[in-house]
């Protein structure tokens, strides 16, 4: 994929303001898109949109195909007459600057269930037909997902490997009996998906009207406790008890001295190849319906991945295993007549990973925060960027740039100031300016960096299982002054 010179901002929808405790796809999402357009940005990068589970991570979802119901906007449901003002009268008081996930999720589920009850009683044949059409169109994943979630709820939310054996092994009689006794619970989950994708489709269309492309994200691995692992166990290394025999992670690196033990099940790539990568093609198709470009997370795992025995306490002990490589990417390329993919090529990058990326002409990623621990030959320094790459000050996995600078070794701070020929007083914007002025085709920074925020606004600490993903910006943060400052950057550097 050859990129044209553009810029944008990395912000997940959960970070948006809203009256319901967590950012959603309502009016503030449209205001955000207006801000992007007015500032001259043409890209909006988000994290995965799936239904989050343990740890509230968008990289650990209950499905690789479903949407996150917590992003549904009650305000829009009110406009659609699926809620009444009375339905919203018991709304809790939520914090403005972060997400209290427990409180927000409890409220969202309660309010969406109320909308479902109104929908069931509604006499609107148009809405009913839209719902039926959606369920038929998405049946390939939706049927299993809704069933999976309904069973999980009925058993107190536990992981599927601890379900009764007949349900765990998808015994036909057991599933038929469960469906017969739980039709309403299953329909509720289908309804949530129907509403989510309707709201998201409208957001995407509005972004396109404003000249904004959306960069989405495909995590290479799926969560073990997911409809995907339960409904397609043959595609993963799982034992007879349903539990993974080997799991994913990365060895010790920049982020963690003991590596990162992600715990995701690993793919049986031989089985995927035998099926013509059908599951993966469906997964890509699903994501491309929602976004314009995909950041393929942990790209190096397609060349070679770190396999950790399932009983290990850290990721230090494991082995490198060859991935599906070019055979996989050829199948995806053929299915979509191209590869609108950004390769997340960070971490331990070996020549085979570079060869795989460059063979398919995929743009890689450059992180400016990584650039100052080395020499002027460091590939993360702007003067070394190839044109076909995507440059960031930092991503959701990094500290904010101000937080990074404050905590960096003095030698790195000194190199950074010398390189930028700046005093360090406005270091975050100096670093933003450096990548905006580089030859990199795409440049992005987090909204936290544009707001010059400290470490408390950090989105994620890799390797820390809880306490992430909760930052939100406040309604007054998108000032006219900020918009003008970004617009000037985009003008000066032809973005």
Catalytic residue among 344, 345, 412, 430: 344
Q: With 80 as the cut, is the pLDDT of residue 254 above it?
A: no
Tokens of 315: 């990721």
Burial status of residue 96 (CB atoms within 10 A of its CB: 0-12, 13-18, 19 or more): middle
Dihedral angle of Cα 189, 192, 193, 197, to the nearest 10 degrees: 180
C-beta contacts of 331-335 below 8 A and 24+ residues apart: 331/276, 331/277, 331/280, 331/281, 332/277, 332/280, 332/281, 332/284, 333/360, 335/281, 335/284, 335/285
- Nearest alpha-carbon partner for 229 in 342, 393, 63, 72: 63
Q: With 70 as the cut, is the pLDDT of residue 6 above it?
A: yes
How many residues appear in the chain?
A: 495
Q: Binning pLDDT at 50, 70 and 90, where does residue 331 land? A: very high
Q: What is the CATH number of the domain that holds 47?
A: 3.20.20.80
For residue 387, being part of any structural domain is answered with yes
What pLDDT shows up at residue 255? 66
Q: Distance of CA 169 to CAs 43, 136, 220, 237, 271, Å?
A: 43, 25, 25, 15, 19
Q: Binning pLDDT at 50, 70 and 90, where does residue 58 land? A: very high
- 27-54 pLDDT per residue, tens: 999 999 999 999 999 999 999 999 998 8
Tokens of 42: 């043409």
- N-terminal to C-terminal alpha carbon distance within the chain: 18
Q: Is 397 a catalytic residue?
A: yes
Q: Is 34 a catalytic residue?
A: no
Q: At 295, is the secondary structure helix, strand, or coil? A: strand
Mean pLDDT of 341-354: 93
Tokens of 350: 């070996």
For residue 94, being part of any structural domain is answered with yes
Tokens of 491: 């003008």
% of residues, the chain, pLDDT over 90: 93
For residue 109, being part of any structural domain is answered with yes
The total of structural domains in the chain comes to 1
For residue 47, being part of any structural domain is answered with yes
Asked if residue 403 lies in contact with residue 392, where contact means CB atoms within 8 angstroms, the answer is no
Asked if residue 398 lies in contact with residue 369, where contact means CB atoms within 8 angstroms, the answer is yes
Q: Binning pLDDT at 50, 70 and 90, where does residue 464 land? A: confident
Asked if residue 75 lies in contact with residue 108, where contact means CB atoms within 8 angstroms, the answer is no
For the chain, give percent helix, strand, coil, nearest 5: 45, 15, 40
* Strand ranges for 77-212 from DSSP E: none
Mean pLDDT of 56-85: 97
Q: With 80 as the cut, is the pLDDT of residue 253 above it?
A: no
- 383-439 pLDDT per residue, tens: 999 999 999 999 999 999 999 999 999 999 999 999 999 999 999 999 999 999 999
Q: Binning pLDDT at 50, 70 and 90, where does residue 491 land? A: very high
Catalytic residue among 100, 378, 397, 454: 397
Q: Domain range spanning residue 488?
A: 6-492
Q: In what order do the strands lie in the sheet with 304-309?
A: 260-265, 246-250, 304-309, 319-322
Beta bridge partner(s), residue 267:
236
Q: With 80 as the cut, is the pLDDT of residue 1 above it?
A: no
- Nearest alpha-carbon partner for 264 in 62, 49, 68, 60: 60
Q: At 354, is the secondary structure helix, strand, or coil? A: helix
Q: Binning pLDDT at 50, 70 and 90, where does residue 213 land? A: very high
What 8-state DSSP symbol labels residue 60?
A: S
For residue 416, being part of any structural domain is answered with yes
Phi/psi of residue 122, each to 5°? -65, 145
Asked if residue 206 lies in contact with residue 199, where contact means CB atoms within 8 angstroms, the answer is no
Beta bridge partner(s), residue 120:
none
**Residue in the block written with tokens 């085979």:** 352
For residue 235, being part of any structural domain is answered with yes
Q: With 90 as the cut, is the pLDDT of residue 125 above it?
A: no
- 259-295 pLDDT per residue, tens: 889 899 999 999 999 999 999 999 999 999 999 999 9
What pLDDT shows up at residue 147? 98
The sign one gets for the Cα dihedral 481, 485, 491, 494 is negative
C-alpha–C-alpha distance, residues 450 and 369, integer Å: 15
Task: Give me the chain's average pLDDT, please.
Answer: 96
Beta bridge partner(s), residue 43:
8, 213
Beta bridge partner(s), residue 244:
238
Asked if residue 242 lies in contact with residue 310, where contact means CB atoms within 8 angstroms, the answer is no
Give residue 210's Cα distance to chain centre.
22
% of residues, the chain, pLDDT over 70: 100
C-alpha–C-alpha distance, residues 332 and 341, integer Å: 10
Q: Distance of CA 409 to CAs 129, 254, 373, 455, Å?
A: 61, 14, 9, 16
For residue 1, being part of any structural domain is answered with no
Phi/psi of residue 104, each to 5°? -65, -40
What pLDDT shows up at residue 466? 87
Mean pLDDT of 50-74: 96
Asked if residue 363 lies in contact with residue 294, where contact means CB atoms within 8 angstroms, the answer is no
Catalytic residue among 20, 217, 297, 449: 297
What 8-state DSSP symbol labels residue 291?
A: -
């Amino acid at each position: 994929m050859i990129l044209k010179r553009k810029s944008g901002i990395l912000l997940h929808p959960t970070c948006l303001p809203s009256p319901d405790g967590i950012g959603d796809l309502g009016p503030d999402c449209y205001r955000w898109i207006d801000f992007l357009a007015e500032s001259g940005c043409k890209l909006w990068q988000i994290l995965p949109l799936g239904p989050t589970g343990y740890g509230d991570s968008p990289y650990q979802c209950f499905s690789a195909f479903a949407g996150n119901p917590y992003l549904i906007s009650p305000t829009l449901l009110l406009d659609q007459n699926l809620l009444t003002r009375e339905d919203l009268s018991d709304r809790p008081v939520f914090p403005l600057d972060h997400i209290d996930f427990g409180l927000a999720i409890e409220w969202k589920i309660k309010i969406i269930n109320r909308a479902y009850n109104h929908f069931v009683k509604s006499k609107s044949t148009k809405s009913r037909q839209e719902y039926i059409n959606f369920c038929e169109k998405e049946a390939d994943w939706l049927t299993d997902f809704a069933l999976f979630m309904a069973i999980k709820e009925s058993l107190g939310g536990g992981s599927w490997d601890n379900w009764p054996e007949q349900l765990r092994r998808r015994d036909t009689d057991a599933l038929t009996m469960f469906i017969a006794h739980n039709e309403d619970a299953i329909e509720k989950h289908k309804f949530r998906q129907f509403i989510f994708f309707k709201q998201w489709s409208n957001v995407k269309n509005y972004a396109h009207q404003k000249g904004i492309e959306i960069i989405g994200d495909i995590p290479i691995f799926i969560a073990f406790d997911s409809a995907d692992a339960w409904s397609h166990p043959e595609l993963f290394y799982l034992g007879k008890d349903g539990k993974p025999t080997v799991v994913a992670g990365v060895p010790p690196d920049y982020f963690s001295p003991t590596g990162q033990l992600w715990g995701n099940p690993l793919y049986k790539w031989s089985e995927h190849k035998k099926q013509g990568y059908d599951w993966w093609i469906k997964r890509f198709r699903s994501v491309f319906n929602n976004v314009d470009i995909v950041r393929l997370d942990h790209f190096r795992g397609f060349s070679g991945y770190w396999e950790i025995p399932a009983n290990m306490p850290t990721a230090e002990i494991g082995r490198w295993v060859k991935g599906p490589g070019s055979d996989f990417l050829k199948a995806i390329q053929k299915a979509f007549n191209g590869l609108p993919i950004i390769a997340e090529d960070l971490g331990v990058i070996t020549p085979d990973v570079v060869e795989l990326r460059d063979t398919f002409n995929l743009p890689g990623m450059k992180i400016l925060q990584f650039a100052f621990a080395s020499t002027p030959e460091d590939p993360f320094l702007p003067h070394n960027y190839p044109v076909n790459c995507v440059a960031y000050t930092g991503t959701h996995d990094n500290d904010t740039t101000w937080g990074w600078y404050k905590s960096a070794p003095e030698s790195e701070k000194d190199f950074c100031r010398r390189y930028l020929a700046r005093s360090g007083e406005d270091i975050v914007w100096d670093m933003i300016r450096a990548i905006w002025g580089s030859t990199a085709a795409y440049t992005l920074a987090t909204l936290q960096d544009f707001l010059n925020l400290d470490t408390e606004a950090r989105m994620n600490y890799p390797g820390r299982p809880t306490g992430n993903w909760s930052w939100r910006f406040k309604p007054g943060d998108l000032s006219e002054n900020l918009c003008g400052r970004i617009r000037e950057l985009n003008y000066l550097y032809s973005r």
